[in-house]
Amino acid sequence: MENLYLQKVLEGDVSKFSFFIEKYKDMSFSIAFRITNNREDAEEIVQDSFLKAFKSLNSFRSDATFSTWFYRIVVNSALSKQKRRKPGTVNIDPDTVPDSAIEQVASVYKSLAKADQQKYINDALGNLDVEDRLLLTLYYLNENSMEEIAEITSISKQLLKMKIHRARKKMYIILEKKIKSETHNLL
Amino acid sequence: MNTSDIENVTRHILAESKLELENPDFSNLVMHKIRRVNRKKTILHHTGLFFSMLFVIDALIIAGLKILKINVTDMCSNVNAFIHEFSFSIPGRSSLLFQFFMAYIFVLAGIVWGLNRLLASRYKLRN
């Protein structure tokens, strides 16, 4: 299906490119936002990425998937924009937390209202490193495979597994802290 | 909790972090920019193509006239007299050639511009 639209665009039917915009705009926005932590910047990055993708469509290899190729453009654009900004993250050592703590956090999280869940998870992600946020978004939200993430981020597959594991732990630590501090404030 | 459970729970938790673009005109805006980029690219491509085509046609005409030993200025005495008079009224022959060349380029540019306008209107109808 995608290849058909791609072929049409390459043949000069520019209007068919809207298919790709509609399909990938929200997910690429999520990725760009997780890197920049700013809605305006993320929207601008997604716009620029679509333009870049259109301009270099001729160089796209048909043996790769369009999504992987496009997300790579989004990630690179967002990272180059992010480099100019000072990151505001929290230093956490994920090795100090056992896996059993995850169960506890998950059960408390499940009991929260949907709006609160969204608030906590977005806050928690906002406090992680750019790389951790990106990896969690690609792996758990976008459900990309390890191979695809390796291609998008240029991180080796062996290293990816470990990085995702650590990022997940860090996320649970922050989530636990956020939930605890909020319930403490309420009491 | 085994690894698979943790994976599922994390996937469930992160599903709530999905974001959507709030700008309802986003797609139209991007498509507008893409059309503009494409139009510029097409015009540039056509300009190059038309210029080279016109140069080749003119070169072939000149080569044909040379081969057939046809001197256009001899055939047209009025033009010959004008050139003769004009060449004496300006400082040098190279300047005259330069001015002819510039005039030639301007005429070509006019033709290319007209052709591009014609194609652009057809392009707008198509996209």
pLDDT of residue B107: 87
Chain A contact set for B15 (CB, 8 A): 140-141
- Segment B59-79 shows an average pLDDT of 78
pLDDT tens digit sequence for B30-44: 999 999 888 888 888
Chain A contact set for B37 (CB, 8 A): 51, 54-55
Angle, in degrees to the nearest 10, between helices B3-15 and A157-186: 60
Nearest C-alpha neighbor of B26 from the set A47, A9, A24: A47
Q: Give the number of other CB atoms < 10 A from CB of residue A34.
A: 26
Chain B contact set for A99 (CB, 8 A): 1, 6
Q: Do A102 and B23 touch (CB under 8 A)?
A: no
Q: Give the number of other CB atoms < 10 A from CB of residue A50.
A: 27
Alpha carbons A29 and B21: distance in angstroms, whole number: 7
Nearest CB among B1, B16, B33 relative to A121 is that of B16
Q: What is the H or E stretch that residue A8 is in?
A: helix A2-10
- Segment A113-125 shows an average pLDDT of 85
CA dist list (Å): A13 to A24, A56, A138: 19, 16, 31
The answer to whether A152 and A65 are in contact (CB under 8 A) is no
E strands, chain A, are none
Stated pTM of the model: 0.73
Question: Between B119 and B23, where is the model more confident?
Answer: B23
